[in-house]
Structure 1
Amino acid sequence: FSRMFGLNSDLSTICRLLTDPRPYRCDLVLTTYTNWQGDPEKRLLINEADVGLGCETVFRVNRNSKALGGFASFLLAFLVTMIVYRNLELVIKVDDETIYDGKTGVIVVGNGGYFGGGVKVAPDAKIDDGLLEIILAKDLKKMDLVLNLTNMYKGTHLKHPQVERMIGRKVEILSKDDIRFEMDGETPGHGSSMLFEIMPDAITLLL
């Protein structure tokens, strides 16, 4: 997430954040879903959410040790998950309009642009523009994923013909099956529908 603001963990950056933080207004995303207890729940996210391969990778990362660090842990989990993953049948609605109905490798709803140890998944996302960045990877083959892994880290994967970028203020993901989703590095619930709504200018960060 800090990559969105050009921040790093060197000593000079840490000292500046402690002594001279700068206010930055940004958006949040209201998420509506079913939690693991089967109850409807709402939660705010600041960075991104996804359904599909990315979610299953995060689920695997969170169940295992991260001793290798964020980048290596995510990459290893991604490669293992890819072997067993099967694309999902999803209906995607953006601003109440159905824009896709079919097999889906992954769909990302981004307020921020990065996830998973540095994957530049939504390279055009801006955290203060009042819009959601939607990245839809359709019925991708596993070899496509392997060949485009470097592109995903560089943010150049949008050139792939099976990858589509959209923007909107509300995104609904529907499935005939019970599926889980990921938001900000956690997997808080599951179900057959998830709703994401932008909340513009919702919070001040000190950066």
Structure 2
Amino acid sequence: DEALTLIQTMPIRPIDVGRIIFKNKAGRRSHRFFVNVASFGLGGEVAHQVRKAPRSLGPAFAFFWATMIAVLRYGKKHIHLKIDENPSVTWRSWNVAIANGRYHGGGMLVAPDALPDDGVFHITVIGNLPLHRIFSNLTHLYNGRIHQVEGVAGFTGTRVEAASNQPVLLDIDGEGPGTLPSIMSLIPGALNLICPKDPRGPSLKGEIST
């Protein structure tokens, strides 16, 4: 009864939703919706490796273990990235995250400034860093300082096109359904969420996690 009362009395807030068109595992064009993060490159490989991780130590360790394996095996990819109406840019990149929420991957703070109701994607590109700097800066994926790392770039936008001449795996809200090429577009206020009123301001604080 208490839970039902809370549901009935809590305010309803609309949050943004991402729509992604991609190539599925059968090689066919497919689409999905996501509420948190779509990533490609290392993130897609992590989504694949995490299924093999020891679960006895919990999800955070599983994602950390999968990240270590993926970094050592996967490597950087050449990714062509077009954000909104800007010219396409080719990156040699470990990973690109298209974020609606702040966290993914068992607590990785991939988009520190993201809010799920602010009307834009927050895009984090982990660029052409040497391997030793990937390992030395892993803590910044958890402490909110990822954009302070040289070689990491941040952007905002509402439409992202991504392609590569190499096979690049996708991670969409924790699942790995296919590969690039992909087109991601933001649908503002598409999903109503029941949530407590936030005394710090009108926007949600990005606490969506996968």
TM-score after normalising by structure 1: 0.87
* Residue matched to 2:184: 196
**How far, CA to CA, are the matches of 1:151 and 1:177 in structure 2?**
28
Correspondence 1:99-178 to 2 at 5 A: 99-178=88-167
Instruction: Give the letter for the 1:34 counterpart.
Output: K
Q: For residues 169-194 of structure 1, what are the alpha-carbon distances to aligned partners after superposition, in whole Å with 9 as ceiling and x for unaligned?
A: 10111101232211100011124x11
Question: Unpaired segments of 5 or more residues in structure 2?
Answer: 196-210
Equivalent residue number for residue 6 of structure 2: 20
Distance in 1, Cα, partners of 2:116 & 2:104: 14
CA distance in 2, matches of 1:20, 1:59: 38
Residue 91 of structure 1 contacts residue 98 of structure 1 at CA under 8 Å; is this kept in 2?
no
* CA deviation string 1:120-171 (max 9, x = no partner): 0000001001100000111111211111111110110101120111000101
Taking a change above 3 Å as real, the CA distance of residues 141 and 205 of structure 1, as seen in their structure-2 partners, is same
Counterpart Cα distance in 1 of 2:173 and 2:116: 14
Structure 1: state its 5+ residue gaps.
1-14
Matched position secondary structure for 2:87:
strand
Change in Cα spacing, 1:16 to 1:50, as seen in structure 2 (3 Å) is farther
1:56-99 CA-partner distances (Å, limit 9, x unpaired): 11210024443321111111111122111210011110003235
2:199 matched to which residue of 1?
Answer: none
* Superposition misfits of 4+ residues, deviation over 6 angstroms: none
Aligned-pair CA distance for 1:17: 5.8
RMSD: 1.7
Q: For residue 206 of structure 1, what is the amino acid of its counterpart?
A: I
The 2-side partners of 1:120 and 1:105 are apart by: 16
Q: CA deviation at 1:115?
A: 0.4
67, 90, 96: which one aligns with 2:79: 90
2:26 alignment partner, one of 37, 61, 68: 37
Q: Distance in 2 between matches of 1:16 and 1:194?
A: 44
Greater strand content = 1
How far, CA to CA, are the matches of 2:169 and 2:137 in structure 1?
24
1:19 CA drift (Å) = 4.0
CA distance in structure 2 between the aligned counterparts of 1:69 and 1:26, rounded to whole angstroms? 29
Equivalent residue number for residue 73 of structure 1: 62
Alignment correspondent of 2:201: none
CA contact (8 A) 2:53 2:65 kept: no
Other structure's SS at 1:127 match? coil
Percent identity reads 28
How far apart are the structure 2 equivalents of 1:111 and 1:91? 21
